[in-house]
A and B are shown apart, each in its own frame.
Chain A
Amino acid sequence: MPVKQLTVFLENQTGRLAEVAKILKDEDINLQGFSTTEARDYGILRMVVSDVKKARQLLKEGGFTTHVADAVCIEVVDRPGELYRILDILANRDINIDYIYVIAGTRIVLSVSDVERVEGILVENNIKLCS
């Protein structure tokens, strides 16, 4: 099962990220992990939350532009070489990763174009998925 990743458009302005965090906090939505990418005067915030549907609705009401996309979420064993092992499997199958980030625990989120295929490959290789 892919994870539903919620993305938010943010203008590069003081307090915008705090505003997002507040909206989630006020409704008791847990933020399990996130990453940001910035351009000249805006950025995008990608996150995994406990209730995507509700979070998206709240953010929309708060005037944010949002997007939801599937991503692969993997439980990584916490020991040297583990990330390499996973990436090597994917590289050998010619799979390009658009971006990757760590979320709470030892989980990582990968964005790829064919989520289903990548999940299949990972399962074949005994890598634990989470959603």
Chain B
Amino acid sequence: MANDYWEKEVETLSRDKLRKIQLERLKKTLVNVYENVDFYRKKLDDAGVDPYNFSNLDDVEKIPFTTKDDLRESYPFGLFARSMDNVVRIHSSSGTTGNPVVVGYTKNDIAVWGNLIARQLFSVGVREKDIIQNSYGYGLFTGGLGLHYGAELLGSTVIPTSGGNTERQIKIMADYGSTVICCTPSYILYIAEVGKELGVDFSKLPLKMAILGAEPWTNEMRKEIEARLFIDAIDIYGLSEIIGPGVSLECLNKSGLHVAEDHFLVEVIDPQTGKILPPGKQGELVFTTLTKEAIPLLRYRTRDLSVLNIEKCSCGRTHGRMKKPMGRTDDMLIIRGINVFPSQIEEVLMKVKEIEPHYLIVVDRKNYLDTIELWVEVSEDVFSEKMNDLENFESSIEHKLFSTIGIKIDVRLKEPKTIQRSIGKAKRVLDRRKGETL
């Protein structure tokens, strides 16, 4: 199955041929943005990049970066390279922290997107006979509609459940025999929890795979999900600025997400200096769209941290793999001067067998000192009538956290289901230093 391809030729291109295609497409993109987007014309002129004489892919480092702020400042359509005559769809972010990021698609963009999703679903063994329960939110968020059209193009049956109404999701899963579900990793865990309460035996359901994305999650979380639902959990990555889901997907080897390099040029840079890092080094992912028409972006800084591997994969694909992103540069917490990623905490926590996989990291500042707490729920597996058992449990987690991360994290035991469950992107951190409240 792993050697079956949706588009064999392009998925197994030699690196040389791939780079040739990338260069050709980048040239077209440069001309497109230079001629149609004021913002980019100015940027390229200022940087001395001549879009009509761009002949070496390595010169990409001379092209200036695009940031999320650039998108926000050009709200709503400032970076569009096509007029509304040619734009057939708009998606946007929620914009809770400022202007929303608005993106558009031409007919061709939509077709490319669908084909990418179909290619990726195919690569993990999804076929016409599969029933795909799409629990990503339908609407402005790219997740729902993005997966939807790709799955239809592939010929699978799509159930557009969107997010929420978890009991109904489980009923549909069981009654309609969904074989694949698409949602966030935190939502599948919630589905597992509710299903267990309803007495559902997931080992007896036809469900075999979950395509999970829209938030960072660790390999330890994967093990937890796979064990609870008796499925393969596959990581999908994307961001609406670049296209939405479909930028990259793991193959069944689960050893990195294959970036669709015929449509996206990927780089990993040092987030401080902006210098390109070689494969194998961790840094910030940067993407340039190579075929997008409505809103092409040059060197978009994702703030997601990952590592690139361009070795050919044993699945046969030559497209480079990005390591499961460990989080965003802006997810990083600085606690008394030490950098901590929520994913590091999750990794430790998921190894504790008795704990429910729901947690909240609470950061505060007391008497000019940063404090960090980890809220976890007490399950019956750890609870006894002895206070000592609970105290030992708390301190054993604290010890594990300290020995891996190097800071003292206060474990706080909570009653079941007091930590908010999420049907979309989970909120894992409450930073009271920034005035956030529950």
Contact = CB atoms under 8 A, between A and B. Distances in A.
B418 interface: yes
Interface string A32-68: 0000010101101010000000000000000111110
Nearest to A111: B385
A7 B414 CA distance: 15
Contact of B378 (A65, A69, A98, A111): A65
A11 B413 CA distance: 8
Contact of B415 (A7, A9, A111): A9
Interface of A, secondary structure class, is strand
Given A9-B378, A39-B390, A44-B390, A63 B417 contact: yes
Interface string B366-409: 00000000000111100111110011000000000000000000
B412 interface: yes
A9 B385 contact: no
Identify which of A5, A37, A44, A46 gathers the most chain B CB atoms within 10 Å of its CB.
A44
Contact of A64 (B385, B391, B415): B415
A17 interface: no
Contacts of A16: 415
Contact of B391 (A5, A7, A39, A98): A39
A122 interface: no
A67 B385 contact: yes
Contacts of A11: 414-415, 418
B390 A41 contact: no
Given A42-B413, A44-B390, A65-B378, A7 B418 contact: no
A121 to B, nearest CB: 22
A129 interface: no
Contacts of A46: 385
Interface in A1-49: 5, 7, 9-11, 16, 37, 39, 41-42, 44, 46
Contact of B385 (A5, A39, A41, A42): A5
Contacts of A7: 383-385
Interface residues on A, range: 20 to 34
B268 to A, nearest CB: 42
A69 B377 CA distance: 21
A69 B385 contact: yes
Q: Which residue, B386, B391, B414, B417, has most C-beta atoms of chain A within 10 A? A: B386
B384 A67 contact: yes
B416 interface: yes
Interface string A65-109: 111010000000000000000000000000000100000000000
Contacts of A44: 385, 387, 390
Contacts of A64: 415-416
B151 to A, nearest CB: 37
Taking residues whose C-beta sits less than 8 angstroms from the other chain, chain B's interface range is 10 to 19
Nearest to B415: A11
A42 B387 CA distance: 10
Q: In the complex, which of the residues A9, A37, A67, A98 has the most CB atoms of chain B within 10 Å of its own CB atom?
A: A9
Contact of A65 (B386, B391, B415): B415
Contacts of B379: 65
Contacts of A10: 415
A19 to B, nearest CB: 10
A31 B414 CA distance: 25
A65 B416 CA distance: 7
B383 A9 contact: yes
B383 A67 contact: yes
Given A9-B378, A9-B415, A11-B415, A65 B387 contact: no
Contacts of B417: 63
B374 to A, nearest CB: 13
B415 A69 contact: no
Contacts of B415: 9-11, 16, 63-65
Contacts of A42: 378, 390, 413-414
A104 B416 CA distance: 30
Contact of B384 (A37, A63, A69): A69
Contacts of A5: 385
A9 B378 CA distance: 8
A63 B416 contact: yes
A8 to B, nearest CB: 9
A24 to B, nearest CB: 17
Interface of B: 377-380, 383-387, 390-391, 412-418
Given A42-B413, A66-B383, A67-B385, 7 more contacts: A7-B385, A9-B378, A11-B414, A37-B387, A65-B377, A65-B379, A69-B385
Q: Which 6 pairs, one residue from A and one from B, show the smallest C-beta to C-beta distance?
A: A7-B385, A69-B385, A65-B383, A65-B378, A9-B378, A67-B383
